[in-house]
Amino acid sequence: MSIMKGRAHTFGDNLNTDYVISGKYKFKTLDMKELSKHVMEDIRPGFYDEIEEGDFVVAGENLGAGSSREQAPLVLKAAGIGAVVAKSFARIFYRNCINVGLPVVEVDTSQIEEGDVLEIDIAQGVVVNVTKNVTLQASPLPPVMMKILSDGGLAEHLKRHNGFALDESD
Amino acid sequence: MGTISEKILSAHAGKEVRAGDICIVPVDFMMSQDGTTGLTIKAFKQMAAKSIANPKKYAIVIDHNSPSPMESVSNIHKEMRDFASDQGSILYDVGEGVCHQLLPEKGHVLPGNVVIGGDSHTCTYGALNVFATGVGSTDLAAALVTGKIWFRVPSTIKFVYDGTLPEGTYSKDVILHMCKTLTSRGATYKALEIYGTVIDAMSVDARMTISNMVVEVGAKVGLMPCDSRVREYVRQRTNAPFKGVEASGSAIYERVIREDLSDLPPQVAKPHEVDNVVDVSKVAGTELDQVYIGTCTNGRLEDLKIASEILAGKKVARGVRLIVAPASRNVLLDAMREGYIDRLVRAGATVIAPSCGPCVGTCNGVPSDAETVLSTANRNFKGRMGNTKAEIYLSSPATAAYSAMLGHIADVREVQK
Ligand code: SF4
């Protein structure tokens, strides 16, 4: 995977999936592009319009708490978000991101501010804050997840290998 | 050898696994609901799959937005019905109830099973000694196609709740207390095992309230022992053989938390986080516009019984809307037979279809701006009930019923004195 570059949009701790996309919208449509216009609407109205393709969502602890709705990572992806970066993630969300091919980076985000330009190397687990000129070392992605992500998500993984091809000795 | 999670996953993986190991395991039962089935079908198609590995091990439940209030939802429901009939899987249509009530109630989940659901509160069945956890639609679709899922075996935090709960305090108060102790991220990636005399004394209904909410502390699963009550509950519902799984004496826990709950007062979660929990005295007097009794957390027969006893011969306070959603058609039938529904309706309650109701803000009770709601649900996030300008408090059905009667949050121990 190549190096991604984009701007940071920062959020606090415990940003739950209800905030990423409100439960009331998930029944509106299965068209994620359409749904993505409501991304973060309850806590940051107008967020969709701030996003440029390849930007990053940067949060504190426990990003993605709550609902299992896969609409959450999907709308982020559809809205143009290139990766989600946080100090820690809630479990189901973390897995869902990988499964739909949205890169996740677990790193200390306290030195990242709104608008900072970041360069992220997922394979190496390195985040460079270009604006502040600091390099942050991320926790490595478990090998199983790296494999799914590099295949482009779980659906692609299963198609490519005709079933799970996860090295269980990892 | 091992914790309950390690033993269940080892038995399924066909090899010994320990916390931290990765394993691929067969899944005993799967479920998705109307908020997640659409994407599951989409992912299923993306995998270029034609059929489900075990259609009889998959239930599709129409509960989140049910009966449909609008065209787009009706179309999702239609797609679910078509998919269920094409694949030969189980369908629970409008009016059957909330997914997490139906799976245990219909005998689909057994002690020692591995169960996944396209809904985060799938952990509810941990109360029946089931390794049950919520997954996203793609994981679910993958399991539908292959019959399997991969897991990283979680490490376990063990809770022992000693003592006897005082009058007026219930299983909901116990789990709210746990949310306060652990915080919303205190058990991320962990399994919980929950024991003690407090749990032993509870019905299976009451235990499910606790396991239901372990995801609110980030846990993967909230397991309880398979005791005589669980065995009886399951035997009444299915003839399928099962064997409970116990942790071994040498099991390694990340932490053991032991606490005596004999003095625990009723608990309330304040807006807008589930771990923002206080003793009821701290919020007593908060004026209410709506009270909601129901959901996969607290819409069971025992919950309706408790609420109806408090409201028997009384009236809901003027200006307060009390909405009640039985967790399933069977719960509704039993509650009618026992006279609970009669008492609640006479007190002024509006009974809605067995469904999620206003829990997730889809229909049947969306609050208006600046309104305050007391709910027996499991989440009070801003906007959860469909309006970001409403305030949501969470409590037990007893606290909810008593507060509905007075029109403000109140300490139910007053009535029980
Ligand atoms: S009742 Fe509420 S929490 Fe439970 S499954 Fe339905 S929407 Fe989810």
CA B338 and chain centroid, separation: 23
CA–CA dist B295, B176 (Å, integer) = 16
Nearest ligand 1 atom to alpha carbon B297: 4
Contact B265, B385 (CB under 8 A): no
Cα distance from N-terminal residue to C-terminal residue, chain A: 20
Nearest ligand 1 atom to alpha carbon B63: 6
Which CA distances in Å does B211 have to A3, B34, B222, B223, B252? 42, 22, 5, 7, 21
Nearest by CB: B139 against A26, A95, A168: A95
Position A3 scores a pLDDT of 93
Average pLDDT over residues B300-327: 98
Q: Which helix (H) or strand (E) holds B5?
A: helix B4-13
Sheet of B290-293: strands edge to edge? B277-279, B267-269, B391-394, B372-375, B290-293, B321-324, B350-351
Q: Which of B128, B92, B110 is nearest to B328 (CA)?
A: B92
Distance B355 CA to ligand 1 centre (A): 8
Retrieve residue A163's tokens. 């079933």
Retrieve residue A123's tokens. 């394979």
Q: DSSP characters for A62-129?
A: SBT-S---THHHHHHHHTT--EEEES-B-HHHHHHHHHTT--EEE---TT--TT-EEEEETTTTEEEE
Query: pLDDT class for B416, splitting at 50, 70, 90?
Result: low
pTM for this model (two decimals) = 0.97
B322: left (phi over 0), alpha (psi -120 to 50) or beta: beta
Using the beta-carbon criterion (under 8 Å), do A99 and B362 form an inter-chain contact? Answer: no
Strands (E), B95-188: 114-118, 131-134, 148-152, 156-162
The minimum CA-CA distance between A146 and chain B, rounded to whole Å, is 13
Nearest-5° Cα angle at B250, B249 to B253? 100
Position A137 scores a pLDDT of 97
Distance A18 CA to ligand 1 centre (A): 13
CA–CA dist B300, B329 (Å, integer) = 11
Q: Which residues contact B166 (CB under 8 A, 6 or more apart)?
A: B262, B263, B264, B265, B413
Which CA distances in Å does B256 have to B3, B7, B61, B219, B251? 12, 19, 37, 15, 12
CA–CA dist B181, B41 (Å, integer) = 39
Contact B183, B152 (CB under 8 A): no
CA–CA dist B382, B270 (Å, integer) = 11
Contact B151, B18 (CB under 8 A): no
Nearest by CB: A92 against B24, B135, B142: B135
Residue B163 has pLDDT above 80, yes or no: yes
Q: Whose CA is nearest to atom 4 of ligand 1?
A: B296
Q: Whose CA is nearest to atom 5 of ligand 1?
A: B296
Using the beta-carbon criterion (under 8 Å), do B382 and A43 form an inter-chain contact? Answer: yes
CA–CA dist B43, B49 (Å, integer) = 9
Distance A1 CA to ligand 1 centre (A): 38
pLDDT in tens, A110-156: 999 999 999 999 989 999 999 999 999 999 898 999 999 999 999 99
Position B22 scores a pLDDT of 94
Using the beta-carbon criterion (under 8 Å), do A99 and B39 form an inter-chain contact? Answer: no
Residue A166 has pLDDT above 90, yes or no: no
Say what percent of chain A tops pLDDT 90. Answer: 88
Contact A62, A42 (CB under 8 A): no
Query: pLDDT class for A43, splitting at 50, 70, 90?
Result: very high
Residue A169 has pLDDT above 70, yes or no: no
* Secondary structure of residue A29 in the 3-state scheme: coil
Retrieve residue A6's tokens. 């984009």
Higher pLDDT, A24 or B163: B163
Average pLDDT over residues B34-59: 96
Using the beta-carbon criterion (under 8 Å), do A16 and B35 form an inter-chain contact? Answer: no
Residue positions counted in chain B: 417
Sign of torsion, CA B68 B69 B74 B77?
Answer: negative
Phi, psi of B131 (to 5 degrees): -80, 95
Residue B346 has pLDDT above 90, yes or no: yes
Query: pLDDT class for A27, splitting at 50, 70, 90?
Result: confident
Which CA distances in Å does A59 have to A114, B182, B272, B384? 10, 21, 18, 21
Q: Which helix (H) or strand (E) holds B203?
A: none
The minimum CA-CA distance between A29 and chain B, rounded to whole Å, is 7
Say what percent of chain B tops pLDDT 90. Answer: 99
pLDDT in tens, B238-258: 999 999 999 999 999 999 999
Average pLDDT over residues A56-74: 96
Contact A97, B136 (CB under 8 A): no
Retrieve residue B89's tokens. 């899987």
pLDDT in tens, B49-100: 999 999 999 999 999 999 999 999 999 999 999 999 999 999 999 999 999 9
Query: pLDDT class for A23, splitting at 50, 70, 90?
Result: confident
Residue A2 has pLDDT above 70, yes or no: yes
Token pair 């040498």 is at which residue? B250
Average pLDDT over residues B381-405: 96
Position B220 scores a pLDDT of 97
Using the beta-carbon criterion (under 8 Å), do B386 and A18 form an inter-chain contact? Answer: no
Which residues form ligand 1's pocket by a CB distance below 6 Å? B 64, 98-100, 119, 121, 295-296, 356, 359-360, 377-378
Say what percent of chain B tops pLDDT 70. Answer: 100
Residue A107 has pLDDT above 90, yes or no: yes
Angle at which helices B137-146 and A91-99 cross, to 10°: 70
Position B415 scores a pLDDT of 85
Position B304 scores a pLDDT of 98
Residue A168 has pLDDT above 60, yes or no: no
Retrieve residue B62's tokens. 């129409």
Q: Which residues of B touch A87 (CB under 8 A)?
A: none
Using the beta-carbon criterion (under 8 Å), do B184 and A164 form an inter-chain contact? Answer: no
Nearest CA in chain B to A61: B185
